Amino acid sequence: MQYNRINNLLGWLCFLVAACTYILTLEPSVSFWDCGEFIACAYRLQVSHQPGYPLFAMICKVFSLASLGDNTKVAYFTNMACALASAATIMFLFWTITLIAKKMMISRGGELTTQKYILIWGAGLVGALAFAFSDTFWFSAVETIVFAMSALCTAIVFWAILKWDAHADEPGADKWIVFIAYMIGLSIGIHLLNLLTIPAVALVYYFRRYKNINFKSGLIALLISIFILAFVQFGVRGYTVMLAAYSDLFFVNKLGMGFGSGALVFFLLLAGLLVWGIRYSITKRKPMLNLAFLCVVFIYFGYGSFMYIPIRATANTDLNNSHPDNAFTLYGYLNRIQYPQMPLLSGPYFDAKVTDQTFGGPFYQKGKDKYVVAGHALENTYDHTTILPRIHSSDSTDPQFYRQWLRLGDTDVPTFSDNLKFLFSWQIGQMYFRYFLWNFAGRYNQQDGQQQMGGFHGYTDGDWTTGIFDHSKHLPKSVLNDRTYTPLYALPLVLGLIGLFYHYKYGKRDAIVISMLWLFTGLAIVFYVNQPLQPRERDYSYVCSFYAFAIWIGMGVIGIAEFMRRKVNARVASFATIGLCMLVAPILMAKKEWKAHDRSTKRVAHDMAYNYLMSCPKNAILFTGADNDTYSLWYAQEVEGIRPDVRICITTLFGGDWYIHQMQRKMNESEPLPISMRYDQYRSGTRDFVPYSDAKLPDSIELKEVFDFITSDNPQAKVEMQDGEVVNYLPTKNFKLTINPDEVVKNGVVTPDQKARLADKMEWKFTGNYLTKDNIAMMDILVHNNWKRPICFAATMSNKDLNGLQSYLYKEGFVYHLIPFKPNDQSQNQRQAKVNTKVMYDNVVNKFKYGNFKHAKYLDEQSSNLFYPFITSTYLELTQNLVQEGRSDLALNALHKYDKEMPDIYPYAGIAQSKYFIIDTAYKLHDKSTANKYMASLDSYLTDQLDYHYNLMQDSPADVDGQTVQFEVSVLNGITDLAKEYDDPKLSGKLQGQLDDYTKKFSGIMQR
SS3 813: coil
- Residue 770, Cβ neighbours under 10 Å: how many? 13
Q: Are 183 and 197 in contact (CB under 8 A)?
A: no
The pLDDT assigned to 831 comes to 39
Q: Are residues 273 and 232 in the same domain?
A: yes
* CA nearest to 168, candidates 300, 291, 293, 285: 291
Classify residue 961: in a domain, yes or no: yes
Report strand pairing: 791-794 vs 621-624: parallel
Residue 456 pLDDT class (50, 70, 90 cuts): low
Average model confidence (pLDDT) across the chain? 93
Residue 76 has pLDDT above 60, yes or no: yes
Classify residue 860: in a domain, yes or no: no
Q: Are residues 635 and 584 in the same domain?
A: no
416 alpha carbon, distance to own chain's centre: 30
Beta bridge partners of 358: 379
Q: Are 819 and 749 in contact (CB under 8 A)?
A: yes
For range 244-265, the mean pLDDT: 94
Domain that residue 970 falls in = 908-1007
Classify residue 10: in a domain, yes or no: yes
Q: Are 133 and 586 in contact (CB under 8 A)?
A: yes
- Calpha distance 677→776 (Å, rounded): 10
Q: In what helix (H) or strand (E) does residue 762 lie, and over which residues does it extend?
A: strand 761-765
- Residue 283, Cβ neighbours under 10 Å: how many? 8
* CA nearest to 112, candidates 10, 5, 3, 11: 3
Amino acid at 756: A
SS3 807: helix
Judging by beta carbons within 10 Å of its beta carbon (0-12, 13-18, 19+), is residue 619 exposed, middle or buried?
A: middle
- Calpha distance 734→692 (Å, rounded): 12
686-740 confidence digits (pLDDT tens):
998 899 998 888 889 999 999 999 999 998 888 888 777 889 999 999 999 999 9
Residue 568 has pLDDT above 70, yes or no: yes
The pLDDT assigned to 770 comes to 92
Q: Are residues 812 and 949 in the same domain?
A: no
Q: Are residues 236 and 176 in the same domain?
A: yes
* CA nearest to 333, candidates 361, 309, 314: 309
Q: Are residues 50 and 109 in the same domain?
A: yes
Beta bridge partners of 761: 738
Q: Are residues 576 and 641 in the same domain?
A: no
- Calpha distance 911→869 (Å, rounded): 7
Q: Are 575 and 120 in contact (CB under 8 A)?
A: no
Q: Are 472 and 515 in contact (CB under 8 A)?
A: no
Amino acid at 305: S
Classify residue 710: in a domain, yes or no: yes
Residue 588 pLDDT class (50, 70, 90 cuts): very high
Q: Are residues 615 and 708 in the same domain?
A: yes
In the listed set 787, 814, 841, which residue is the last one of a domain according to the structure? 841
641 alpha carbon, distance to own chain's centre: 25
Measure the CA angle with vertex 52, ends 643 and 771; round to 5°: 65
The pLDDT assigned to 830 comes to 41
Classify residue 894: in a domain, yes or no: no
Q: Are 419 and 389 in contact (CB under 8 A)?
A: yes
Question: Where do the DSSP E strands lie in 404-464?
Answer: 442-443
Within 8 A by CB and 6+ apart from 219, the residues are: none
Q: Are 528 and 344 in contact (CB under 8 A)?
A: yes
- Calpha distance 144→134 (Å, rounded): 18
In the listed set 841, 864, 894, which residue is the last one of a domain according to the structure? 841
The pLDDT assigned to 833 comes to 66
Beta bridge partners of 175: none
CA-based torsion, 832, 837, 842, 845: positive or negative: positive
Q: Are residues 924 and 777 in the same domain?
A: no
Residue 214 has pLDDT above 50, yes or no: yes
Q: Are residues 553 and 644 in the same domain?
A: no
SS3 173: coil
- Calpha distance 868→131 (Å, rounded): 31
Within 8 A by CB and 6+ apart from 574, the residues are: 115, 118, 119, 122, 561
Question: What is the chain's Cα-based Rg?
Answer: 31
Q: Are 657 and 682 in contact (CB under 8 A)?
A: yes
For range 415-427, the mean pLDDT: 95
Question: In Å, how far are 44, 609, 641, 655 from 670, measured between CA atoms?
Answer: 17, 18, 12, 21
% of the chain with per-residue pLDDT over 70: 98
Q: Are residues 582 and 625 in the same domain?
A: no
CA-based torsion, 71, 76, 81, 84: positive or negative: negative
- Calpha distance 992→1003 (Å, rounded): 16
The pLDDT assigned to 827 comes to 44
945-994 confidence digits (pLDDT tens):
999 999 989 888 888 888 999 999 999 999 999 999 988 889 999 999 99
The pLDDT assigned to 829 comes to 43
Q: Are residues 592 and 608 in the same domain?
A: no
Residue 247 has pLDDT above 80, yes or no: yes
926-937 confidence digits (pLDDT tens):
999 999 999 999
SS3 266: helix
SS3 241: helix
Residue 575 has pLDDT above 70, yes or no: yes
Q: What is the DSSP string of 273-292?
A: HHHHHHHHHHHTT-HHHHHH
- Calpha distance 370→358 (Å, rounded): 26
- Calpha distance 867→119 (Å, rounded): 49
- Calpha distance 753→735 (Å, rounded): 28
Q: Are 405 and 451 in contact (CB under 8 A)?
A: yes
- Calpha distance 590→408 (Å, rounded): 43
Residue 1 pLDDT class (50, 70, 90 cuts): low
Q: Rounded to 10 degrees, what is the CA torsion of 226, 230, 232, 238?
A: 170
Q: Are 521 and 91 in contact (CB under 8 A)?
A: no
In the listed set 537, 563, 596, which residue is the last one of a domain according to the structure? 596
- Calpha distance 155→140 (Å, rounded): 15
Question: Where do the DSSP E strands lie in 795-921?
Answer: 809-811, 815-818
The pLDDT assigned to 150 comes to 96
Residue 341 has pLDDT above 70, yes or no: yes
Q: Are residues 101 and 1 in the same domain?
A: yes
Classify residue 474: in a domain, yes or no: no
Q: Rounded to 10 degrees, what is the CA torsion of 540, 542, 546, 549?
A: 180
Classify residue 721: in a domain, yes or no: yes
Q: Are 456 and 473 in contact (CB under 8 A)?
A: no
User: Domain count of the chain?
Assistant: 3
Classify residue 214: in a domain, yes or no: yes
Residue 832 has pLDDT above 70, yes or no: no
